[in-house]
Amino acid sequence: MLETYEFLVIAMMGSFIALIFTGFPIAWLLGGIAVIFAVGCILLNEYFDVDTYFLTNFRIFGIIVQRIYAQMSNWVLVALPMFIFMGLMLERSGVADKLMVNFVKLFGRYRGGLAMGVILIGILLAASTGIVGASVTLLAMLAMPVMLAQNYSKAFASGVVASAGTLGILIPPSVMLILMADQLSLSVGELFMGALIPGVLLGLCYMAYAIIGAQIMPRMAPAPKNLEPLSPGLVRDTLIAVFPPILLIVAVLGSIFFGIATPTEASGVGAAGATLLAMANRRFSFAVLRDVCYKTTLTTAFIFGIFLGATAFAVVLRQLGGDEFIAHMLNSIPFPPGGIVLVILFIAFLAGFFLDWLEITLILLPLVGPVVVGLGFELVWFVVLFAVTLQTSFLTPPVGFSLFYLKGVVPPEVKTTDIYKGVIPFVLIQVLVVAMVFAWEPLVLWLPGQMYGG
């Protein structure tokens, strides 16, 4: 028999899941449900003498305001708009255009090499921008016409672009990791370093699939044609094109790793570096700056809108006993600690079919984090493992945002079914990397240990 607070927790979470499908904005949905359940529980306690756990008076709204103020005054979150600005400015800087031209000439001569080049550009963009929408759109506009002209399979080309673009949410600097660190009071720098090896490993696995798959299934990536011969000048031009993003990556991540700058300060270095690259490539103007600032404000407002709604939702859910309920449910599963972690990851994977990473991070992660710590696991390892799992949410239909970004810019002959079929192997590769990180903790913990002299 469920107790009253357990019924209310289930009703609150069930209402959110059910109302998602109405298409109502998530931020207002989260905040609205929080207000409705808070007022409803207070009235139940006041007029019907129903025990609603701790939620018995209107002081809950004071708690919500205090929690929101505390979140908004957190200086770590200053890094969010700075890294968003950095990514958007880098998109306009022309760096990716030069990389694409040179990588096509250098790698395009090998079967599957063009796909490998696109993924390599995705890794460099991921470590320079951290904005999935910008990376997927940019790669689609630059790479899809080239791959289709070389008679690449439409499904394979779509999968390569969509998966390479999503690396930005995992490879630092990552907006997702900043929010995860804030939710669980972890070091952003430690999470950045912990996610670096798994993120690069995921990109290398994508590249391996592109090369091996092209050899096994030649029709997926036919032999290239009409390419200029390899020359020292071509290699030199490629190295020159790669140097600016590498320099920016070293400036941002290197300053964090060696303790020269905090992640917030490093975000400022990145924003300034991206602006200088745009100036060096003669792509900078007042119109570009205005557009980048506008999109930065819009993206930041979108993230913080959901952030505020999720904060109110989480406060009310916890006051109803949501923490205790989730902990009790997970600890009741007849599995060893590792099995319970796998159940949590499976829930996050399924949630990724219907929710964006932002909602999952703000709602589910704070509830399961303390449970994982209680099971004796290292929280940094689990958060990175959770982040790799959420990587799939960008590629799994029906709410895979990378699929939407890609469909919006691909040529008309590329159908939605081509995109869906193309991403399936890459989702399976993501699951494989999750298994690797789960089985071998040093993939996550070694680099943070080196960062702190361990």
Roughly how many angstroms between the first and final C-alpha of the chain, as a whole number?
A: 50
Which pLDDT score, from 0 to 100, does residue 80 have? Answer: 83
Residues 6+ apart with CB under 8 A from 130: 83, 84, 86, 87, 168, 169, 171, 172, 173, 174, 175
Tokens of 72: 């908004």
Low-confidence ranges of the chain (pLDDT < 70): 1-5, 45-57, 129-130, 225-228, 399, 452-454
Residues 6+ apart with CB under 8 A from 343: 330, 333, 335
Which pLDDT score, from 0 to 100, does residue 56 have? Answer: 58
Which pLDDT score, from 0 to 100, does residue 54 have? Answer: 55
Contact between residue 181 and residue 384 where contact means Cβ atoms under 8 Å apart: no
Which pLDDT score, from 0 to 100, does residue 377 have? Answer: 92
pTM of the model: 0.84
77-115, pLDDT tens digit by residue?
888 888 888 888 887 888 877 887 777 777 777 788 888
Which pLDDT score, from 0 to 100, does residue 16 have? Answer: 85
Which pLDDT score, from 0 to 100, does residue 1 have? Answer: 46
Which pLDDT score, from 0 to 100, does residue 386 have? Answer: 94
Which pLDDT score, from 0 to 100, does residue 6 have? Answer: 74
Residues 6+ apart with CB under 8 A from 446: 197
394-414, pLDDT tens digit by residue?
888 776 778 877 887 788 888
In angstroms, the CA 333 to CA 354 distance is 24
Q: Which residue is associated with the tokens 């990791």?
A: 177
b (16+ CB within 10 A) / e for 18-57? eeeeeeeebbebbbbbbbebbeebbebbeeeeeebbebee
